[in-house]
Amino acid sequence: MGNVQSAFWERVDRLWVALASVKITFVVFFGLLLLSIPGTVILQYNISSVDPGVQYQYDFWRFGQIFQLFTSYHSFWYVGLIAILAINLIACSEQRWPQMWRLASAKPVAWARETFLQQASDLRHTWQTQVGKDEALRSVLAAVRSPLAKPVVVEEGPDSFQVFWQTGRWSRIANYLVHTSLLVIFAGAILSSLYGFEGAANIPEGQAVDTFLLFKEGKASGLEPTPEGLLNERLIGFRVEAERFDVKFYPDFPGRPADFVSKLNLYENGELVKSGEIRVNTPMTYKNFTFYQASYGRMGDYKVKLRLLDRRDPLNRQASLEGRLGVAVTAPDTLTLSKDKSPVKLVALQAADNLQGLGPGVLFQEVKDDRPVGEAFWVLQRFPQFDFRRDAPYAVVVDEVREVFFTGLQVGNDPGAPIYWFGCVGLLLGTFYALFVTHKKYHLRYERGQVDFAATIHRLPMGFEKRVARWAQTFQNFLKPTPGSIPAPSGENA
């Protein structure tokens, strides 16, 4: 029995070792490189603006459905690749860790003279000096000591010592930070895809909704489907009212929006729980819902603020009214100015932002019992006296004409976000540390006036020889070389 078990674990062990294969890593890398491409060429559900089912012929669509081509980045083959990558990464990291840790954490040891001679000739400097041991040691330490480098001193004999220090040794295992961060990002992404959701709603100004159409929904999003609603329509548990939506355009570039902003009110159980403004790049959060200003659109509707004035006493007898296109507004009973002495009833039929260069204007029609009375008439906002020319007992002055838009909101919940942003920070720190910092070791040995100074670097020695030469120069400032003790570069040979 025990044998069977140990055989089993042996097999597991062997599998684990096999999973750490670098071949797997490269197969996955090239796989990701190639398999990321189809999703950018073939239409994707919820990414492309065109539905693949509409665009492609039936045979290709069937084929694509089977191989999940239209949801490439969530397909079994793509997710499978990433899963293999994660397993491979964990296996590799686990199995290489002892070796890597030893490399990074190893305490440097003093070098034998031969080790100095083995170093590349441009990373090695040798000279004779008259300076005595104690003074040499003191001045070398004074020159070397810094917050980053903790020099180690080994007194090898009565007349000799060695000072050595290193910088950037953690860059050797900074790749662990990078790889762990990638796993953290994966974890955050999994959490988001299980519990998160993304949706959108278009709300006309002044109206409210309590459902959103989701285009991405995790299995455990916790949102209720809307009764008798669309397949992807979900109740969010409160009402979102777009109290006001404003869009400003650049004056010299018509049609190019400069800013758009929605004033939102959120009502839960009939009570106002939150209100605020959102605009592009500044979202608003309530509970675990974040609302983003994504877009806007025209509805062909206008809001009109007007005043109805009695022509005989316009200053004292007037009423302010508010209406929209196609909706009748009625003057108060005090202003019975229609032909049959009943309150005037007006409908705004049409509006324009700029009527033939004269500014905003509205086309009104007086109505009575849903039938037009007289002819429709234009009123211009910029010319308040304009309507006084019309033959009627009353005149209309327009105070405001404003186009009504719908605001395009997106709503999202991304519970994995804090986790993957944390991972991103680690990824960046790790990448910069691993690739910008190198592990450098410096050794200086003194023996009866003989100074050997050499350095090693774990990657790309390019340019490093200059830094080593600068250090040598620093030391030579106080460990003055005796004349002729620095051999010419060509003569220098181990």
Interactions with other proteins, residue window 310-349 (CB under 8 A): none
Stretch that binds other proteins, among 57-65, 141-149, 338-346, 431-439 (CB under 8 A): 431-439
| Among 282, 334, 473, 482, contact with other proteins (rule: CB under 8 A) | 282
Task: Decide: 84 and 23 in contact? Cβ < 8 Å.
Answer: no
Nearer CB in complex with other proteins: 381/407: 407
Of these, 16, 19, 25, 392, which contacts other proteins (CB under 8 A)? 25
Q: Which stretch binds other proteins (CB under 8 A): 150-158, 374-382, 412-420, 464-472?
A: 412-420
Kindly state whether residue 29 participates in binding other proteins, applying the rule CB under 8 A: yes
Please list every residue from 176 through 215 that binds other proteins, using CB under 8 A. 189, 198
Q: Does 279 bind other proteins (CB under 8 A)?
A: yes
Q: What is the 3-state secondary structure (H, E, C) of 386-445?
A: HHHHCCCCEEEEEEEEEEEEEEEEEEEECCCHHHHHHHHHHHHHHHHHHHHCCCEEEEEE
Q: If binding is defined by CB under 8 A, does position 421 make contact with other proteins? A: yes
Phi, psi of 304 (to 5 degrees): -130, 130
| Location of structure tokens 């040598």 | 472
Asked if 256 interacts with other proteins (CB under 8 A), we say yes
- The residue whose two tokens read 């860790």 is 97
Verify binding: residue 288, other proteins, rule CB under 8 A.
Answer: no
CA 414 to chain centre: 12
CB-based burial of residue 457 (10 Å sphere; 0-12 exposed, 13-18 middle, 19+ buried)?
A: buried
Helix axes 22-35, 76-105, angle to 10 degrees: 140
# binding residues, other proteins (CB under 8 A): 55
* Contact between 104 and other proteins per CB under 8 A: no
Of 244, 283, 241, nearest to 266 by C-alpha is 241
The reply to whether 302 sits near other proteins by the rule CB under 8 A is no
Sequential DSSP letters for 358-395: S--EEEEEEEETTEEEEEEEEEETT-GGGGGGSSSSEE
Token representation of residue 97: 């860790």
Of 48-67, binders to other proteins (CB under 8 A) are 49
Question: Which of 240, 411, 455, 479 touches other proteins (CB under 8 A)?
Answer: 411
Summarize as ranges the residues that interact with other proteins (CB under 8 A). 22, 25-26, 29-30, 32-33, 36-37, 39-41, 44, 47, 49, 72-73, 189, 198, 216, 250, 252-260, 279-283, 290, 292-294, 410-412, 414, 417, 420-421, 424, 427-428, 431-432, 435-436, 460, 462
